Chains A and B, each alone.
Chain A
Amino acid sequence: MIELFLSQLLNGLVIGSVYALIALGFSLVFGVANLINFAQGALLMLGAFFAFTLIQWGLPIVVAGLLSVLATAAVGMLVERLALRPLRNAPAIAPLLSTLAIAVIADAGAELIWSAESQPFPSPLQSFVVFVGGAFLTGVDIATFIVSLAVMGGLMIFLSRSWTGRALRATAQDPEAAAQMGIDVALMRQIAFGLAGALGALAGILVAMYYQSVFPQMGVPFGIKGFAAALLGGLASIPGAVLGGFLLGIFENLASGYVGEGSRDLIAYSLLILVLMVRPQGLLGTGKLEALGGVGGASGAIPTTSIIASLGGATARTRNWVLRPKLWMMLAAIALAAVLPWLGSAYIVQVAAGCAVFAMLALSLTLLSGSAGIISIGHAALFGFGAYLCAILGRNHGWPVEGILAAAAFGTALMAAVATLPAIRLTGHAVALATLAVGQVGYLLFLNWIELTRGPMGIAGISRGTLLGIPMQPLDRQYWLALLLLAVCYVIAHRLLESPIGRSWRAIREDRPAAHAAGVPVRRYLVLAAATSGLIAGLAGAQFAWLQAFVSPDSFVLETSIVLISMVVLGGMGNIAGAVIAGVLLAILPEALRAFDDWRMIVYGLILLALLRFRPQGLGGVR
């Protein structure tokens, strides 16, 4: 069916050019500041809304668009000022989390200012349609394509010919040397963020014209796809970002055309995993710098392969106090929490049980990401795997609680080991993409594999059963079980980290080639880290399923994974006591902030930002 192919190819080129613009924003910031800017999607959304407001004030669309691009560029610079500059000597992951906090604030702010409703966006070109055989192009498609190509071309000329462009590239290659040559490195970082904001706004306006509407959540899918496109092309490569954008756009449209709209993202993410396994550095990324720790590696004091290595080798200024409580202290604290049900409020017990589940998840992820250095943005899939195992085995097959606990623990451990395999030979940011893709594939399977998971309908009526003859229906008992599981997992994690295994994990995190050269069987240790992490996540998932008595894909979305990695960073990478505390804190904050009403998520973002500002190495400090 040539008509479908042609039509999907054209659609893919148009959407792909938008992805390319966003990917360019990621690449510029990453190149210059060695930072993944998670606020890129929020910048896109803000750009679209700024233009929307200006058009409402009566400005013509072109003028409104230009002003909006300028305004969003200013917001981009503000992001640099808030997220990056105060955290320059902090571990690299702290500013990343700051950009996330800013994205949370921007999304919640947009809902307050412009309402959560979709609003119509004027799109005069949309009524102009050209038919190419059976396929068609609208005026907006043509404009999108031309504007994107022009901007990309202009950007390339700017980067290669102008003095500022060359200074930007010099900063990307070696900030120290650039500074010695008299380049204002701080200014260059700000310019990169400004450019990223401008590109985001442009993409946002094009998307708004394409959809003929604007809404506060519009940036989220484009942020993820743009990030994926940037990584696909090779994160620091400008032509790579363009290529990655176009390929992703074309491929997902073909998938949507030939397999079905429902599997568009499933196929897009599966393809990403495949590409990464063949070319971990991305299509146009070079493998050469990878040996020195990727593009940014040359800037560090010690060249290394890990994006979080600067943690361990963090400067004396940030590496001051590390929380390392004795095992009995943490167990005593957990035991103390067991008295909560006697306060007599089921509400507090319910919230506390949720906190215990998230503490387990943070603990689980800090082993994998914090200690072993596999940054995972897909942990919610393992959490969900455990929860669905519990729901399906318990409800459909009548398994006893003991059997479910064992199955959730060991099944998820096995799953984690397998799912992490594609990520294990990767280093740097490619790991983040691989785990993101694995996490999304997991979520999309929960959503689309309706025969097994019942898809969006979810699985209801999960029985809490009896454990060792004790009926587990009362909430208090579920809470105590959650605490018991948390304590057991904590002991396992503590023992592992204090043993030579933990030391090997940290060695791999700090410098993989060095660990390898010193005789550490890297792959085996990483599989072990993944399996241990999966075991704990599976138990947390099962406990969650019992607690809620209902599971649906809504609980295992990308935002959950991001909250989990935030907990790990906030707790201090590899610090299990810190992870437990941060897990409890971030799980409790949305509840504790209820009094703020509509301002709740904004206050949440501000608190996250403030915590990172004053304790960038995490509450507990890095171990």
Chain B
Amino acid sequence: MIQRRSLMGGLAGLGAVALMPDRVVAQGNTVKFGFFGPFTGNFAANGQRFREAGELFLEQTNAAGGLAGRRLVVDFQDDRGDPLQSTNIAQRFVADAEVVAAIGSFTSTSSMAAGQIFAQARMPQVSPTSSHPDYTKISPYQFRMPNTQDIVAELNAELMVNRLGTKRIALPYFQDDWGIFVAQATKAEIEKRGGEVILSEAMTQQARDFRAMITKIRAARADGIFIASHYAPSAIFMQQLRQAGITVPVGGADPLYNPEFLRLAGAAAEGVICTTYFFPSDPSKAAFTEGYKAKYGREPDQWAAFAYDAIAIAAEGAKALITAGRPVTREALRDAIDALPPYDGASGVTEFVNGSPRKPMTLLVIRNGRYELYS
């Protein structure tokens, strides 16, 4: 696999320059990006999708002749979701004079800790996922792929209150920065539309037993549930909810659009409605979905789509510079990314305003073990 070194390779490399950043011998004309995320550790299930999407893009781009004739090179680094490691990686990328942009990371904590270093070095950073409001406030050098939560919350509330007609809503959320912001913003929007949030409780990061919450949801006579959580705990939540005999309609945030959610939750997932940026049955996404399926043997998920778009947008910026005959420097690349025309990628159309996009989202419903467009 590209850029993926073996154990023996590691042993050989270790002897020589253990702490020096990779000095790739300049092979004529190249453009180099740094790409980091939690490829191992607690968030590895997400981080590995990142790397797969990054490797796919790299392979496809170079097979198609590179970026306007220049070869793309990517330095993949694992931060384990640990902010200390992500700052080390950030300095490593910054110290490598060839690296002109950084893609990463998954958690807002890691992205933001690294972000201040990129800001100082004036290197553009495109995070595939970080939705923390403060992330793009670090500097003009930060970009992200998802919408900010206030936009997402409007759709969430519209689904629950206007489309499903529920009035007494339970709102379990995952206890990370993303979950807290989704819950806060969605609660405010629901109340604005005349609904009531009767229970809003955190799912702690390692918890997989939600029966206490479910008992309370039943006791509070909720008529609808909105889950602001990741797919693995949500799948268990759905199973335990249906076991308890609660059949009220359930809506969910965008991470519930994931083939793994169907696999894990099985029949309990039936009827769940979720928002999404990305729907692979959409023919315009074929280059990504078909390529991904061929290379990894499974459907891509939203994280892969975000990561693919993140690196694609940085590459698009570099291509624009090269075609205009300008040198690809870090600062020029930031401006080029910022000035890109609306980019139609796997996760929807991205146009940055202060580093954040405002993408259209669609609603999906799970029927007969498959996602279908909800209408």
With a cutoff of 8 Å between Cβ atoms, the chain A residues found around residue B47 in the complex are 116
Which of B6, B11, B87, B206 sits near A548, CB closer than 8 Å?
B87
With a cutoff of 8 Å between Cβ atoms, the chain A residues found around residue B87 in the complex are 350, 354, 547-548
Assuming the contacts A120-B264, A215-B232, A555-B83, asked whether A597 and B211 have C-beta atoms less than 8 A apart, the reply is: no
A447 at the interface (CB under 8 A from B): yes
**How far is A555 from B113 in the complex, measured between Cα atoms in Å?**
11
A603 at the interface (CB under 8 A from B): yes
Contact with B along A108-136 (1 / 0, CB 8 A): 10010001111110000010010100111
B286 at the interface (CB under 8 A from A): no
Contact segment of B74-82, B188-196, B315-323, B340-348: B74-82
Whether B14 and A596, one on each chain, are in contact in the complex, defined by CB atoms closer than 8 angstroms, is yes
Residue of B nearest to A348 (CB): B19
Q: Which of B20, B94, B132, B264 is the most central at the interface, judged by chain A CB atoms within 10 Å of its CB?
A: B264
How distant is B230 from chain A, measured CB to nearest CB, in Å? 10
A256 at the interface (CB under 8 A from B): yes
**How far is A8 from B244 in the complex, measured between Cα atoms in Å?**
13
Assuming the contacts A11-B212, A134-B215, A595-B5, asked whether A457 and B180 have C-beta atoms less than 8 A apart, the reply is: yes
Whether B232 and A213, one on each chain, are in contact in the complex, defined by CB atoms closer than 8 angstroms, is yes
Which of B6, B116, B211, B245 sits near A7, CB closer than 8 Å?
B211
With a cutoff of 8 Å between Cβ atoms, the chain B residues found around residue A4 in the complex are 212, 215-216, 219
Contact segment of B162-170, B235-243, B325-333, B351-359: B235-243
Residue of A nearest to B218 (CB): A134
Which of A8, A458, A597 sits near B212, CB closer than 8 Å?
A8
**How far is A348 from B87 in the complex, measured between Cα atoms in Å?**
11
Whether A211 and B208, one on each chain, are in contact in the complex, defined by CB atoms closer than 8 angstroms, is yes
Whether B245 and A212, one on each chain, are in contact in the complex, defined by CB atoms closer than 8 angstroms, is no
Q: Which of A8, A217, A460 is the most central at the interface, judged by chain B CB atoms within 10 Å of its CB?
A: A460
Which of A120, A218, A548, A601 sits near B263, CB closer than 8 Å?
A120
Assuming the contacts A111-B44, A138-B243, A600-B78, asked whether A351 and B177 have C-beta atoms less than 8 A apart, the reply is: no
With a cutoff of 8 Å between Cβ atoms, the chain A residues found around residue B5 in the complex are 595-597
B290 at the interface (CB under 8 A from A): no
**How far is A138 from B209 in the complex, measured between Cα atoms in Å?**
13
Contact with A along B164-188 (1 / 0, CB 8 A): 0000000000011101110000000
Contact with B along A543-557 (1 / 0, CB 8 A): 000011110101100
How many chain B residues touch A (Cβ–Cβ < 8 Å)?
A: 79
Whether B236 and A351, one on each chain, are in contact in the complex, defined by CB atoms closer than 8 angstroms, is no
Contact segment of A52-60, A511-519, A585-593: A585-593
A325 at the interface (CB under 8 A from B): no
Whether A347 and B82, one on each chain, are in contact in the complex, defined by CB atoms closer than 8 angstroms, is no
Whether A461 and B134, one on each chain, are in contact in the complex, defined by CB atoms closer than 8 angstroms, is yes
Whether B112 and A550, one on each chain, are in contact in the complex, defined by CB atoms closer than 8 angstroms, is yes
With a cutoff of 8 Å between Cβ atoms, the chain A residues found around residue B80 in the complex are 590
Residue of B nearest to A589 (CB): B18
Which of B4, B20, B41, B204 sits near A262, CB closer than 8 Å?
B204
Which of A120, A261, A548, A550 sits near B203, CB closer than 8 Å?
A261
A220 at the interface (CB under 8 A from B): yes
Whether B44 and A116, one on each chain, are in contact in the complex, defined by CB atoms closer than 8 angstroms, is yes
B9 at the interface (CB under 8 A from A): yes
A408 at the interface (CB under 8 A from B): no
B85 at the interface (CB under 8 A from A): yes
B88 at the interface (CB under 8 A from A): yes
Interface on chain B toward A: helix, strand, loop, or mixed SS? helix
Whether A595 and B9, one on each chain, are in contact in the complex, defined by CB atoms closer than 8 angstroms, is yes
B260 at the interface (CB under 8 A from A): yes
B45 at the interface (CB under 8 A from A): yes
With a cutoff of 8 Å between Cβ atoms, the chain B residues found around residue A336 in the complex are none
Whether A116 and B45, one on each chain, are in contact in the complex, defined by CB atoms closer than 8 angstroms, is yes
Whether B177 and A458, one on each chain, are in contact in the complex, defined by CB atoms closer than 8 angstroms, is yes
With a cutoff of 8 Å between Cβ atoms, the chain A residues found around residue B134 in the complex are 457, 460-461
With a cutoff of 8 Å between Cβ atoms, the chain A residues found around residue B21 in the complex are 345, 347
**How far is A220 from B207 in the complex, measured between Cα atoms in Å?**
11
B143 at the interface (CB under 8 A from A): no
Whether B239 and A126, one on each chain, are in contact in the complex, defined by CB atoms closer than 8 angstroms, is yes
Contact with B along A572-606 (1 / 0, CB 8 A): 00000000000000001011111111111101000
Whether B177 and A120, one on each chain, are in contact in the complex, defined by CB atoms closer than 8 angstroms, is no
A172 at the interface (CB under 8 A from B): no
Whether B204 and A458, one on each chain, are in contact in the complex, defined by CB atoms closer than 8 angstroms, is no
Whether A554 and B107, one on each chain, are in contact in the complex, defined by CB atoms closer than 8 angstroms, is yes
Within 8 A of A (CB), among B226-266: 232, 235-236, 239, 243-245, 260, 263-264, 266
B84 at the interface (CB under 8 A from A): yes
B39 at the interface (CB under 8 A from A): yes
How distant is B8 from chain A, measured CB to nearest CB, in Å? 10
With a cutoff of 8 Å between Cβ atoms, the chain B residues found around residue A347 in the complex are 19, 21, 88, 91-92, 94-95
B residues engaging A (CB < 8 A)?
A: 4-7, 9-11, 13-14, 18-21, 39-42, 44-45, 47-48, 77-78, 80-85, 87-88, 90-92, 94-95, 107-109, 112-113, 116-117, 132, 134, 138, 175-177, 179-181, 201-204, 206-213, 215-216, 218-219, 232, 235-236, 239, 243-245, 260, 263-264, 266
6 of the cross-chain contacts (CB-CB < 8 Å) are A116-B40, A215-B232, A260-B202, A262-B175, A552-B83, A597-B10
Leading 10 A-B pairs by shortest Cβ distance: A116-B44, A596-B10, A595-B13, A350-B91, A262-B202, A347-B95, A256-B212, A347-B91, A595-B10, A118-B232
Q: A119-B263, A455-B177 given. 18 additional CB < 8 A pairs?
A: A108-B40, A117-B45, A262-B202, A262-B204, A347-B92, A350-B91, A456-B179, A457-B180, A461-B134, A547-B87, A548-B87, A550-B83, A592-B14, A595-B5, A597-B4, A597-B6, A600-B78, A603-B10
